Every structure is written in C-alpha cells, then in structure tokens.
Structure 1
C-alpha cells in the first residue's frame, strides 16, 4: 500500500453528503470535521446493477492476493494521459485515487438509498466490490452556489462526408435540436428550444437566450432534464410541482427556490425582516445576468467546440463509410472486433492529433488506410467525451453591492467505449429520419461562418 493514496475509512459514511448521480457514477461531498485530505473534496463512486447487490460475490471482482493492486479509476488515468494535454489544467478538477472498503461502501449505500431518485434506485446502486474510487475537487459544496450545464454538441457537421439524403437536414439543424425532437415524440422530458449553438456562440444575446431556455426547461420539468442543475450550499435544488403550477409571477420566497433567491438578490432589508418576493421572471433574469459574464469570457466553451469539431471531422456517416471500405464483411457493424485504445495508444493518438492541428488543421480528408481508420475511430470516441461532458460554474456568495464572480470547470470527461459506435450510428439515422418532414429549425454555427 502506498502512503500517497488516502483511505476513506479515515472518515465516517455519515460525513459524506449525497450530491447527484449519472448513469455510471454517484457523487458525495465531504461534510465532516476538518481533515487535510478530505476538506473541499467530492467522492465519486462507480455504480453497479441492482442484481450485483443481491449476490455481490457473483458480480464483483475476486480479491486474489493482498499485494495485487487495483488500478486507479480509468477517469483519473484518462484525464492525466489525454485530457490535460487538450484542456488547460486550470479548467479541470483535481482527480486523485482514494482507497475504499466493502463494509464502508455498504454503510454509505444504505444511508444514501432514501435520497436517490426512484428510477435510479430501481436500476443500480453503489458498487461495493470496488477497492478504489475518485476523490475530486468539490465544485458545488460550501458557501455560494454553483450551476452545472451540459452543453452538448457545439457545431454543425461539414457537408463533405454527408450523404445526399442527410446533408440538407444535418447542415441546417444541429444534432441536439433534432435529438430533442425525437425524444419529445417518445414522451421524454427534454430541453426543447435550447440550442447548444446559442450557448457556444460567444454572442451575448444568444448566450442569454440559451440560459433563459435552460431555466424555463428546468422549472417546467421540475429539474428532471439534466442540461441544467443548480446547487446552493452543496444541495441540488429541485423545482417542486408547486413551482411548476404557479405562473411566472409566482413569489420565490414561498417556494423551493428560496435558497437560490437569497444568492441572486442582495439583502436590502433590515435584519429579521422577510426578504422581498421576486417573480420567476425576475429570478431568471438575475440568474442569467450572473452567469453571462463568465460564459462570455471563459475560453472553455470555445475549446470544447473546437475539440468536438476537429475530432469529429467526418461525422459518424463519414466514419461509417471509411469503415465499410476497409471492413466490407462488417460494413454495417461499425467498430466490430476493434478493441478500446489503451493508454499508450491514447498517448500516440494525442501526439498525432496535436501535430495535425499544428499543421494545416483538420481538413476532414480521410485516406482509406488501416492507420487512418484507427486514428478516426479514436478521434470519434474522444469527440464523444467532449460532447457529453458538463461544465460547472462555481459562483461566490453575492452580497449587497458586490458583483458575483466565479470559475468554470469541465467535468465528466470519461473515456468512451468503441463498442458503442454501432449504437451511435444507428441512433444518428433514427434522429435524422424522425426529423424529416417537419418545419426545420435554423441553427446558426458562428464558428463555421466566421
């Protein structure tokens, strides 16, 4: 055992507060007494399917020998090997390994279950078979407030590698807006009206429109749509059914959003006097005004859009065509038989990507060779990481007479599996097919026309 890796049993499970969770991980914030290794940190744990907890020995990896070291979580290795070479470290969270134990994890899991969404509880739970987890910068806990935005795809594809059947649709309406339409026809809560190209545009009016729409969807869905999440004092806020039932003139101080109102509006009344009521429209305007300067001045969105565009230069259609030309026997099974790049392969890929970008840039040409195919497969996987990440806007507490300020950090840059390529190609066809025949939305890609 190395002394550099902290051990979670130095804390109590009761000292970790549930924050949120995604498809594969669940996140907690440290709220215990002062501790040099855990102050200001968040614990990110892997989840496993519910059956794994009915028979843990059946699903978890056996502990062979005490000296066998479980590797660090792939997220840590991937960030250090790949992401930190493409995104400045000041815009990334600290990620370190921490040791965990089954008994401790089981107690935390039991404490957490009542606080988790019912749909999540039905599918998965903390994987108690793990021996290492991720200790990250806590970007939502403590004083002040924080906003998580999942921007999604920030570009329109080049027409060069698109088929005649999809070219007009894909170069007019962005992937997110088309996908939102498909989900809405399937009865899902989606961010209809939000266009990522507005958020990525760098234009104050368009960015404000994106924030307004995200706010309206957040309120209207009761926080069910994950493109926007709001945290105050480390607690994720959920607009209640009461909030949704009210008109936009409803008073915030009698609703579940009161903690946010206290952050958005400076206290202007004497102590012990109830704060003035604010309408939801006023709150939305204050919310937008607080976040807008950060989003307009940070280089993060421009970096993400550039990485997405240059790594996905072919679109999945062009990638599938390159694959079919070199793998005719598996032409309709994109990625079949290929293995995920290991970290050495990822290092070589980033080396080549940076050389190409330093030269003439990413032209989008794809010579039909095995080396080029491997490069393009890895590039598309990495583009998916940047399309699916989130940004955290960490805001300092606002007091009367002071302007809010904060930081922007990119999170959830997980490595994607090559086994998902075929599914993504199929989904791409479904999204475009579902969009045919409706009045298209004109999504404006500012970077493409500048």
Structure 2
C-alpha cells in the first residue's frame, strides 16, 4: 500500500497543468498534516512537475524532458527578470522558442513575432494586443502596466503578460545568459540518462532462497543482483562470492552484503564513475529519496555514458571548454603550450589557482589518452607551488609519467613562463577499465 507521501505525489502528478497548489488545500483534500503536504510539494518541485513562483504561488507545470532542457518556460522567465504576472497565468508552464525585442515599427515587429515566442516591449498596447493574437507572450519592460483588454486577451489565450522594472537591453542579456546556462546543463550527463530501469533488470527479495540466485544466473548470465524488501526498498547486494558453499535452502538475507553503496538519478555521471573506481565495484542500485529501487547502473553503462558525453557538441562553453581550446600539444618538445586570457585571471590580474589546477588536470588527461589508457578519474592533485602569472603570458606545460600500472598512474607536471618555473604539481589518477 502506498504511503501518505506517495499518495500526495500521485495526486499532484494527476492534477491538470496550470493548477494552483497550496499546502492547506492538499492537507484538507487528502486528510493529512500540513507538514506532510509541504514535504510532498517540495519533492514534487524537485522532480520538476511543480514550480513555485514569487507573487504567483505554486502551480502544476509540465515536467520537462532532458532533451528539452535548453528551452525555458515562461515561469522561469518570471524568476529570471524578477517579474510580475499581469495576466495569462495558466500559460506559465509553456516553453518559449525565441524572444523578440520590439524596438521597431509595428508591421516590422509582427513579421518576427510568432507562436511560442516572447515579445520584449515597452508600453506599446497595440503591439501587445497583436503579439497575443499571434500566439506570443509579452514581457513589458520599464515597470509599466497594461490595459484590462490586454489582460483579458492574455487570460483567454493562456499566454503570460509579464512586467518587470529592468530596461530592454538588461532583460535581453539576462534571458540570453539563462539560455546559455541551460545549454551547458544539457551537456552534463546524469545517472538518470543512462541507468537500466527496474522493469528491465532483475532483483531478488530478502525472503528468496539461494536456489533462486542459481536460477537467475542460468537465465540471465549475471552474477550480481540487488536485494529488496517487500516495499521494494534496497537492503543489500548479492554476488557469486556470497553464495559459495551456501545451501540452496538458505535465505538471501542471510548471505547478502548489507548497506550497499547506492546512487540517485540526479547524481552526475562523473560522480558515479569516481565512486565505482574508488570503491572497486561493478554496479550500483539507483534509488529515490526513500531508498525505493528505480534500477541499476553498471560500469559498462558509465563507460558508454562518458564516451557519449565526450562526443556531444560543445554549445554552451564552460571554462573547461575554453582551457581545452587554448591548449596546444607540441610533438617535438612533448609539451603543451597556452596563453593566459582575461577570463583565466583573478581580481589581481594573475592566473587564478583554480584555472592552474584545470590546466594541470587537462594536460594529464590528454597525456594519458595518448597512452591509450581509456577513461580516468583524478584521485589526488598536489600543487607544490605556484607563482603569479600575468595576463598575456605564454605557458609551457611539461608532463612526465613517473609511474603507470594497469589501474593507476602518477605524473609530475611542471609549468614554465619565459623559461622560468612558475608552477609544479603531482597528480595521481585511477583508470576506469571494462
């Protein structure tokens, strides 16, 4: 039987898109405490099918899929520009495809304004009316209000009309920054993207017998299985090592390994990979907030996911992307060269400590890739010293492999500027092998 918490989540998920939600209303409807209702609403918000907007309230929104993460909803626009919704609240969950700045004549403006776009405009009522009729939402800059007729149109078309105090240029810059940030997030692979769902894998119950393990082993050719209780909550892991010499009639709960290492769907793939390497494990159960099993992730899944993420187009450029672009390998000298750009400096105009560490990490990564070692994770990085390096300085980075085994490598990295040693680091890595 589902818990009260799960009943509330199911109730919220089945509400129509755009429905306003409150703690008291849900507590009264489902006969639960305000605290229980509040916790469930917060989890629904984390899951992405509820959004809390200042001066609007909590509403049921359409849960965005991972492949649409680059698109912003009008509700997010309200938060970005610290806006006030004047009308069309029912359409806050909708996504916008583009935004148009209304700084031209009305006829020209309408040529660019289309369905699912956002028109950024001042107090031009005619433009607002025609944009709504064309299927576009409105963002009014300068803190202006609008007419009752525009508000009625917004409500009938379910297209938001938002007002904010910023000027048009500032608003456009803020939205552009948000889209850029979303594009960067799109490239980050999480466990949720690659794990095998519970419906497509096999689990054992704590009351099952060792005989059941042998049956599954013959059917699936797998030797590791998660163990769950009657509520489908993960309680252990069982492998071929655990059942050696055990009687067929022994219960699984007597021989399993308790307190297994688990991972959540929102965990990044890089984090999951590091945990697997560090703990020396082949697979991990994927669980929700209540330890209910959702599926499993294996070392093969992680390797495929890492390879896939490396092939993705770099649309939203991060600092690491910038470092990769500006790092060049010199075949003759077997070293890397780069130049310190303004984005890489601290407030004093010198190369920042974090960027220095990123350079060292990227050099190590590229050096080991040339050795055909596959994927790796940094276990430890020790920077012995680092002198100030100013903007425009050219760096020569020389890596030296001190020791390399099947599962690890140790490298010494020296950084020179104008033939003067400006930094030195020691790096330990571990390899993710199949």
For Structure 1 versus Structure 2, the TM-score category normalised by the shorter chain is: under 0.3
Give 1 or 2: higher strand fraction: 2
- Asked which structure has the greater CA Rg, the reply is 2
* Length-normalised TM-score, structure 2: 0.27
Q: Higher RCO, 1 or 2 (CA under 8 Å, sep at least 6)?
A: 1
Give 1 or 2: higher helix fraction: 1
* Length-normalised TM-score, structure 1: 0.26
